[in-house]
Homo-oligomer: A and B are copies of this chain.
């Protein structure tokens, strides 16, 4: 009978309605991002293992005239709504490699930001020069809105 609708059932129904919007608020890495230096990156879909591919188009380099879009590859943690992630960029215009590690945040207004810290490794001739091979810094990224959106 209709009036037998239990409080439990109502709760489950409510959750079913609410869950999509909650899950929609999980911070998503996929899409186009721009950082505070004017560099852009595009991250493709994250698969069920947390693996993702993308491309990095840096605005800054030791020899800016050589810059080429470069591939990136990384992992995102799966469970958290504000997941940590990491990725490697193999520069196509340099023998160096950069790794980024960070976390994806969505604030109450829905604004997304990626906070990252990175290390760039330069090739050196022998291990005695290892002390000078690594740069460190931080960047943050906000979602790049395209005109169609």
Q: Residues on A close to B: CB < 8 A?
A: 37, 49-51, 60, 62, 71, 73-77, 79-80, 82-91, 95-103, 105, 107, 113, 115, 117-139
Give Cα distance in the complex from A62 to B77, angstroms. 18
Contacts of A85 in B (CB 8 A): 88, 97, 121
11 A-B contact pairs sorted by A residue (CB < 8 Å): A60-B129, A73-B88, A84-B97, A84-B122, A84-B123, A86-B90, A101-B120, A115-B127, A131-B137, A131-B139, A138-B138
Smallest beta-carbon distance A61→chain B, Å: 9
Are B136 and A60 in touch, CB under 8 angstroms?
no
Are B121 and A102 in touch, CB under 8 angstroms?
yes
Are A135 and B137 in touch, CB under 8 angstroms?
no
Contacts of A139 in B (CB 8 A): 131
Contacts of A74 in B (CB 8 A): 73, 88
Known A-B contacts A90-B50, A97-B86; A137 and B117 likewise in contact (beta carbons under 8 Å): yes
Give Cα distance in the complex from A96 to B76, angstroms. 10
Are B132 and A135 in touch, CB under 8 angstroms?
yes
Are A117 and B121 in touch, CB under 8 angstroms?
yes
Which single residue of chain B is at the shortest CB-CB distance from A132?
B135
Smallest beta-carbon distance A10→chain B, Å: 29
Contacts of A118 in B (CB 8 A): 119
Are B132 and A62 in touch, CB under 8 angstroms?
yes
Partner of A105, one of B84, B102, B127, B138: B127
